[in-house]
């Protein structure tokens, strides 16, 4: 084994694509596309969809909140 043979093998391997790079591209590109699409849909929904309707607060909860704040509840 002389040094010339080793240098020839290294040059042949360097010409092909790195397997780590291939895996990174196969996993990274779809993941990046998914995240960008999610962001675009989120921005679209924020602009175009109406805000959610809030659930009505029960009278019992209103009474409890007023008592916490120290406001006298009417009728008592």
What is the mean predicted confidence (pLDDT) over 64-72? 78
Instruction: Domain count for the chain, please give it.
Output: 1
3 located within any domain: no
32 located within any domain: yes
What is the mean predicted confidence (pLDDT) over 57-71? 82
Instruction: Say how many C-beta atoms besides its own lie within 10 A of residue 33's C-beta.
Output: 10
**How far apart, in whole angstroms, are the C-alpha atoms of residue 69 and residue 63?**
10
Instruction: Please tell me the predicted confidence (pLDDT) of residue 62.
Output: 84
Do residues 73 and 63 lie in contact, with contact meaning Cβ atoms separated by under 8 Å? yes
**How far apart, in whole angstroms, are the C-alpha atoms of residue 41 and residue 30?**
16
57 located within any domain: no
Q: Which domain, by its residues, includes 45?
A: 17-49
The dihedral built from the CA positions of residue 50, 51, 52 and 54, taken in this order, carries a sign that is negative
61 located within any domain: no
- Which pLDDT tens digit goes with each residue over 10-56? 555 557 789 999 999 999 999 999 999 999 999 999 989 887 788 88
44 located within any domain: yes
């Amino acid at each position: 084994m002389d040094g010339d043979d080793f240098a020839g093998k290294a040059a042949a391997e360097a010409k092909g694509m790195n397997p780590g790079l291939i895996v990174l591209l196969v996993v990274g590109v779809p993941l990046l596309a998914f995240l960008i699409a999610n962001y675009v849909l989120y921005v679209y929904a924020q602009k175009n969809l109406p805000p959610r309707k809030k659930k009505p607060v029960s009278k019992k909860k209103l009474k409890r909140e007023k008592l916490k704040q120290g406001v006298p509840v009417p009728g008592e």
